Structure 1
Amino acid sequence: MPFPILPAPFTRALAERDYNDPTPVQSAVLEANAEGRDLLVSAQTGSGKTVAYGLAIASTLLGEAESLPPAAAPLALVIAPTRELALQVHRELSWLYAKAGARVIACVGGMDPRREHRALAEGAHIVVGTPGRLRDHIERRNLDTRALRAAILDEADEMLDLGFRDDLEFILSQTPETRSTLLFSATLPKAIAALAERYQRDALRIAVKGQERGHADIAYRAIRVVPREIEHVVLNVLREADAPTAIVFCNTRNAVRHLQAGLTERGFSAVALSGELGQGERNAALQALRDGRARVCVATDVAARGIDLPTLSLVIHADLPHDAEVLQHRSGRTGRAGRKGTSVLLVPNSRRRRAEQMLAVAKITPEWAGPPSADEIRRLDGERMLKDPLFTEPPAEEDLAIAESLLAQRSPQELAAALAKVYRTRLPAPEDVTDPGDTGPRRATGRLPYDPADAERIDAMGPAVWFRLNLGRRDNADPRRLLPMLTRRGGIDRQEIGAIRIFDRETKFEVRGNAASRFAATFARNGSPEIQIEALNGNEGPAPERKGPKGFKSPRAGKHTREAGKKPRKPD
């Protein structure tokens, strides 16, 4: 069903954004019996409610005119529980009211209040803000509420849960009694009903049909994982989906830092969002996602509240959510306002029962599977390569001239292979991962059984060369992170890396056969100069750590032999 007849500025704004059909909540607030009335609406996050209440108050603000008068005291006030949601609402209303000449201002905690004061002094039509900051501006007489025609409480239930009742009551008490009051809430508990009864007049209650199907546009997948391979599985899921924007949820700030660093090291453009970041850093990370400079966001639950990214089509739960409500809130970052999305849970076998219980409470039936394999991702890369703009866009004349010159010197097969190699270097290398649900030999140990042919191939590579890396335990060195870094920077395969031994201040590892010289030269050309390697003198590898009394392991590297006539040194 198309939108009803709207004032021309809004029709043009919706058309530019390809809004052809209203969502259920938008249709409900635009019905004739809702025009000009106070509204009490139950609507889930991602249902298109910001555009809904923006259109619902249009006639209240504009009347019969097609544009707003010059900005002065604000005509509408929108109150939201979090900075992120308030800034998101500010962006939505800015484009929706742009053709009507509206000036929309955001007032949120964490931003410079003096700048907001100057903006308010210059005049506004719509002010969007968080309860605490709005109350502060009202008390300081920076925000004049006497001309307000409409007040909107967005996610009112969450504002009450966060303890903003006193602020909300103060703000509403400072507004004209003749205003329209629109209250939007995911749920309608008694506290919301009491708030509506006190501050609304003959409110029309709207419960959007089918709202309980909050995940109707989200495809759910549950992937079996080995706990130690979760970071690798995240990488493979990102590579398989090739989403324009994805968000990966972790339960702790430390996990966010670790995973974001790992993805960045492997070649992803990834940003982090957690409570330890300042507002400026969070805004910069979100802007990088919006303009395409970053494609992956690693975040905690708290930091991700209110995020709305139009191109976000993939959500990965690297850590299982605490409950069904958190699961749906996380997943609701995608599949918004009619767009399709995918939510992927990574489930170790030890936590499968808990995951199944949580999914049952949320009334979600996911597709269970093992992690995407490296071979499957390489196959997808081959298919996607042919759809790359390199092939779909018509070549320029200078490109055709270079092509003729290359064909005169190389065969088509050589040139195609070189092009494939260039294409692959733009992509993070997929990881070999384990499906713990398999019944094959990998299930018990996570590795294939011994194969004599493997030993023969290793012997054929020639003697190994030991290298020293200037990262150790103190730098949180970990084989799962070091191995991809060494292969990527050194331009060699995993099979060419032998033993890896991590010590307190350094790591020693071996590169097999003829790959050593190539590895050293390639490593020196790539990546940060702060991470360095050197070949060990005499090509001697580190001796194994010896055991002292009561099973003590010495962390010391190097020789552990006793000199004649001397007692061995005590362990450090």
Structure 2
Amino acid sequence: MPFSQLPQSIADALVGRGYTQPTPVQAAVIESDAEARDLLVSAQTGSGKTVAFGLAMAQQLLDADGNLSTPGAPLALIIAPTRELAMQVSRELEWLYAPARARIATCVGGMDSARERRNLSHGTHIVVGTPGRLRDHLERGALDLSALRCAVLDEADEMLDMGFREDLEEILDATPDNRRTLLFSATMPRPIVALAKRYQRDALRISTLDERQGHGDISYQAVAVSPSDIENAVINLLRFHEAETAMLFCATRDNVRHLHASLVERGFAAVALSGEHSQNERNHALQALRDGRARVCVATDVAARGIDVASLSLVIHVEVPRDAEVLQHRSGRTGRAGRKGTAVLIVPFSRRRRVEGILRSARIEAEWMPAPSAASIREQDRNRLLAKLAEPVEATEEETQLAQRLLAEQTPENIALALVRAHSQTMPQPEELIDLSSAENRRGEAGEKQHRPGFEDTAWFRMDIGRRQNADPRWILPLLCRRGHITRADVGAIRILANETHFEVRRAIEAKFRSALQRTAREGAEDESGIRIEPAPGAPQPGAHGKVHKPRRTGESGPRHDGPRGGKPGKKFPPRHGGGHGGGKDRRAH
């Protein structure tokens, strides 16, 4: 048996839990060269690291017969960044050390501190807690670390990012010098290295990140969208996958609040987690996810730390993660313990190159694809409904009688139609997304403009940016919507010239558009509010656009133009992707 070198009580617990072989990180920490040494371990979320440090510290805690001494001052201390992670660690250690009759105390914020002090006073073997609460008990004299044999810092990088450096240092300074220190961190920035040098002795460096290759049980997808379509893409991804539980990551608590409100308004059973929520609110939200009352969780990176929901199968990066480590931490909420998961990155066109760089750094191959369309979602709904109806049904006698009565009073077709309608009404409606590949509204073969309904009478405007400033309909359209307080349906043709761009709007909204432009303009500003947009006497004359640039093919040699070219001093515009823009061609954006 792979765990045969462990104390018998620990081996029995593993067998009882169904373990047959260790994960890479578990195997590494119980190797002979790691025995009794300080360890500096890089392992990703979901790699089995909680059990790993439970195995690693067993030799310091148990005697030759696999038993523990009488509970008193703690022998082991595990420090975790969040209450949820600390509770999760405590639950894992409880079954692992159950045969040895270990007494485990948990000390976390949001719980009854008086009860925690009583538990500590009655004696314990292992203490699991968060830095702030542990420091509080230490300063009050309730936590005695004089007999500590092993200290574990779980997700140390997150604890430093959250500002717990002083807490950690005070806690570790109160421990014996001969303790064993195990430091687990998914990343190894300089502050972690400095912490290891100060509190570890001749630490063995262990890394299993390459072996995991960015979570082999996670399928990565990336969808490129217009910036104005991000929220609609979220809706369609949730509807397309219909995951039992999904987690959506935003960068700030304000964005969490806004997206959560939008999802609830559309009919999704959603909860939110961010720094503005109390511990009681967090508890209710997590319980709603675990018991199925909620299926979607919108969260910030820090707030989602330590969350372990068994049914979580979909992670959506609503906002691009800042680096490869954040990408892996977020995605690691799914694809755990042998389960399959999907992680989707929603990528505004202007940030595609950045995302590609993050994926390379993380050694992750993502499949680039369009966001699910409303038509594809409806097709998925039909297939799911047919599959569900094909499943065998165990009916009660009362249900059978009701079914027979329905068949006697209604035709099978009417019953089926009622069933389809009842099914569709329980689900939020998908959103129509901008189709940037649409070829509509180009000039006809005779050179005459083809109007779509509502654009027979239009007003032309112009902007003081063009091809040389990387003007692109993909970001011009949402810019016009934001500046002019209109929708994309109000914008007609977009013609990009060398140094300016002309576009048309419906005559019916011209006055409203002009008024909004005046309110949102800031002369000389460096952002989009500094772009001058003004009425034009009419459509640009034929031939005014100059040379037409064709898109570069993938792999074609030649210079790249990803930054501003010939723009106004200091003014920054989104980079273009995929080559030139076709000069003065009509570009209808849908």
Fold match (TM-score > 0.5): yes
The equivalent of 1:539 in structure 2 is: none
Amino acid at match of 2:265: E
* RMSD, aligned α-carbons: 3.7
Q: Distance in 1 between matches of 2:400 and 2:442?
A: 52
Seen in structure 2, the aligned counterparts of structure 1 residues 378 and 161 have a Cα distance that, compared at 3 Å, is closer
Q: Distance in 1 between matches of 2:233 and 2:209?
A: 38
Seen in structure 2, the aligned counterparts of structure 1 residues 403 and 375 have a Cα distance that, compared at 3 Å, is same
The equivalent of 1:298 in structure 2 is: 298
Alpha-carbon contact 2:43-2:209 (below 8 Å) kept: no
The equivalent of 1:367 in structure 2 is: 367
Mapping for residues 98-497 of structure 1, pairs under 5 Å = 98-188=98-188, 192=192, 195-196=195-196, 198-201=198-201, 203-208=203-208, 210-211=210-211, 213-388=213-388, 391-436=391-436, 438-441=437-440, 450=452
1:45 aligns with 2:45: yes
Q: Deviations over 1:541-567 (max 9, x none)?
A: xxx99979x9599xxxxxxxxxxxxxx
The equivalent of 2:493 in structure 1 is: none
The equivalent of 1:464 in structure 2 is: none
Seen in structure 2, the aligned counterparts of structure 1 residues 66 and 209 have a Cα distance that, compared at 3 Å, is same
Q: Distance in 2 between matches of 1:135 and 1:49?
A: 24
Q: Distance in 2 between matches of 1:443 and 1:124?
A: 76
Q: Distance in 2 between matches of 1:292 and 1:432?
A: 28
Q: Distance in 2 between matches of 1:21 and 1:434?
A: 49
1:391 partner SS: coil
Alpha-carbon contact 1:441-1:449 (below 8 Å) kept: no
Query: What TM-score, normalized by structure 2, do the two folds share?
Result: 0.68
Moved more, 348-357 or 134-143: 348-357
Query: What TM-score, normalized by structure 1, do the two folds share?
Result: 0.70
Q: Deviations over 1:35-68 (max 9, x none)?
A: 4443332223332211111122234333345665
1:210 partner SS: helix
Shift in Å, 1:267: 1.9
Q: Deviations over 1:56-96 (max 9, x none)?
A: 22343333456656644323210123344323323332343
Seen in structure 2, the aligned counterparts of structure 1 residues 119 and 330 have a Cα distance that, compared at 3 Å, is same
2:316 partner SS: strand
Q: Deviations over 1:236-280 (max 9, x none)?
A: 101211222211112232221121111112221101111211222
Amino acid at match of 2:139: E
Q: Distance in 2 between matches of 1:6 and 1:234?
A: 47
Q: Distance in 2 between matches of 1:115 and 1:449?
A: 74
Q: Distance in 2 between matches of 1:109 and 1:12?
A: 33
Shift in Å, 1:32: 4.0
Q: Deviations over 1:510-553 (max 9, x none)?
A: xxxxxxxxxxxxxxxxxxxxxxxxxxxxxxxxxx99979x9599
Alpha-carbon contact 2:441-2:452 (below 8 Å) kept: no
Q: Distance in 1 between matches of 2:442 and 2:57?
A: 60
Shift in Å, 1:338: 4.2
The equivalent of 1:34 in structure 2 is: 34
Aligned residues: 462
Shift in Å, 1:292: 2.2
Alpha-carbon contact 1:434-1:442 (below 8 Å) kept: no
Amino acid at match of 2:115: R
Alpha-carbon contact 2:288-2:294 (below 8 Å) kept: yes
Runs of 5+ unmatched residues, structure 2: 444-449, 455-484, 491-507, 518-590
% identity of equivalent residues? 59
Q: Deviations over 1:339-383 (max 9, x none)?
A: 332221222333333333433444433222221122222222233
The equivalent of 1:510 in structure 2 is: none
Alpha-carbon contact 2:43-2:184 (below 8 Å) kept: yes
Shift in Å, 1:24: 0.7
Alpha-carbon contact 2:42-2:209 (below 8 Å) kept: no
Q: Distance in 2 between matches of 1:64 and 1:385?
A: 59
Q: Distance in 1 between matches of 2:410 and 2:267?
A: 31
Q: Distance in 2 between matches of 1:547 and 1:449?
A: 21
Q: Distance in 2 between matches of 1:67 and 1:449?
A: 83
Q: Distance in 2 between matches of 1:207 and 1:125?
A: 29
1:431 partner SS: coil
Alpha-carbon contact 2:324-2:359 (below 8 Å) kept: yes
1:224 partner SS: strand
Q: Distance in 2 between matches of 1:300 and 1:416?
A: 43
Q: Distance in 2 between matches of 1:157 and 1:405?
A: 64
Shift in Å, 1:99: 4.9
Q: Deviations over 1:105-130 (max 9, x none)?
A: 32233444323223323433321112
Amino acid at match of 2:440: P
Q: Distance in 2 between matches of 1:320 and 1:201?
A: 38
Shift in Å, 1:8: 6.3
Q: Distance in 2 between matches of 1:247 and 1:283?
A: 16
Alpha-carbon contact 2:218-2:334 (below 8 Å) kept: yes
Alpha-carbon contact 2:187-2:325 (below 8 Å) kept: no
Q: Distance in 2 between matches of 1:164 and 1:384?
A: 48
Shift in Å, 1:139: 2.0
Shift in Å, 1:140: 1.1
1:347 partner SS: strand
Shift in Å, 1:312: 1.9
Alpha-carbon contact 1:371-1:435 (below 8 Å) kept: no
The equivalent of 1:24 in structure 2 is: 24
2:205 partner SS: strand
The equivalent of 1:79 in structure 2 is: 79
Seen in structure 2, the aligned counterparts of structure 1 residues 302 and 173 have a Cα distance that, compared at 3 Å, is closer
Amino acid at match of 1:391: E
